[in-house]
Amino acid sequence: MTAPAERAGEEAGRESARWRSCLAFEERGIAAAVMLFFVVGATSSPYFLTIDNLTGILQSLTFLGFLAIGVGLTLMAGEIDISVGSIFGLGAVVTALLLHRGAPLWLAIAGGLGTGVGCGFVNGAVAELIRVPAVVVTLATLGVYRALALVAAGGSPVRGMPPLPGFFDAFGQGTVGGVSIITLLFLVIALLAELVVRRTAFGFRVLAVGSNPLAAHLVGFRVGRTRLVLLVFCGFMAALAGVCSVAYLHTAGPTAGTGYELSVLAAVIIGGVRLTGGRGSILGILLGLTVIGIIQTLIVLWGIPPTWTQGVSGMVLIASMALTWLSRREESISADRVRGS
């Protein structure tokens, strides 16, 4: 073989390896599920492929997406935060109340984000102090943070905020190429989070802690500190979603975010993040969110009665997870064959 042909073959081999590295992981199964549901939607309703519908799906997933990034990274380290829906509502209420009472915009935003950071710190610190899994602590704070939001808002939505064109109009309602600025912010954060997981020492530490906490501790990783940082980040992301919701809706309800934790966990788990930690990616989480969004849209387009909505969603989610499981099983069998050869 001539030198140019050899170089061409090597380049083709490297390109093939790059594609295999992009496809030979957990996301392959969920990507197949996304394609399947997309085809079903496109063939079952003439409204599915319209620009308004597709941008609507993207917009509806944005607020869940902020929460999913935080929950997904935390779950990769072996912890679960189920208080994110309540932190979302509390962060939104604090932001709206500060604006309602005449506080500067920067202070209101800082107050909302600081609330999320504080809630995340409490979750992590208490879990570390009493040596229990974060899921136990956040099961309790789920109710505590919701109660704080209800008390602070007086049980009713917070309205009557001053006109702030830069916050409510330019940021909350602004678009670029038909895509919401809030959605673009979410996508930028998702890209940065993916780079952190795949390309940084901290991302490696997160996966190591989730995979084997004892081994991570023995090699010098601070397991407790890593999980605390992730729970704080999870609270920050939930509060960020709450602040963005105030800009988008011009109001903040103390019950906002109720039930979000279930949808977020579904998206994260469908997206390939292992419940015991040590495996996952932001790309997979985005694909899981897409499945959730398509399901919700199809339920509306098909005119399914509300009494069947949860049942249909559950069945489709099970099908999604089955596709993901079959993909992982195929990869495991292939790996066993390679090792045995």
Q: Check residues 306 and 120 and name the one with the higher pLDDT.
A: 120
Residue 68, pLDDT > 70, answer yes
Q: Residue 258: how many CB atoms within 10 A of its CB?
A: 14
- pLDDT value at residue 146: 96
pLDDT of 17 above 50: no
Identify which of 84, 28, 59, 120 has the alpha carbon closest to the alpha carbon of residue 265.
84
pTM of the model: 0.85
Mean pLDDT of the chain: 84
Amino acid at site 123: N
* CB-CB neighbours of 10 under 10 Å: 10
Q: Which residues contact 15 (CB under 8 A, 6 or more apart)?
A: none
Domain ranges of the chain: 62-315
pLDDT at 54 (0 to 100): 86
pLDDT at 121: 97
pLDDT at 21 (0 to 100): 44
Which residues lie closer than 8 Å to 230 by C-beta, 6 or more apart?
A: 70, 73, 74, 77, 79, 124, 206
Query: 3-class SS at 280?
Result: coil
Quick one: pLDDT at residue 56?
Answer: 82
* Of the candidate ranges 60-64, 69-73, 142-146, 307-311, the one whose mean pLDDT is the lowest: 307-311
Question: Per-residue pLDDT for 333 more than 70?
Answer: no
Q: Is the pLDDT of residue 76 over 80?
A: yes
Task: Identify the pLDDT of residue 241.
Answer: 96
pLDDT over 90 at 334, yes or no? no
DSSP 42-80: HHH-TTTTSHHHHHHHHHHHHHHHHHHHHHHHHHHTT--
* Cβ burial 222-253 (10 Å sphere, 16+ → b, else e): ebbebbbbbbbbbbbbbbbbbbbbbbbebebb
In terms of Cβ atoms closer than 10 Å to its own Cβ (0-12, 13-18, 19+), residue 205 is: buried
213 vs 21, residue with greater confidence: 213
pLDDT tens track for 88-145: 999 999 999 999 999 999 999 999 999 999 999 999 999 999 989 999 999 999 999 9
pLDDT tens digit sequence for 130-187: 989 999 999 999 999 999 999 999 989 999 899 898 999 999 999 888 889 999 999 9
Domain 62-315 has CATH 1.10.3470: yes
Tokens of 332: 């495991």
Beta strands in the chain (DSSP E): 175-176, 179-180
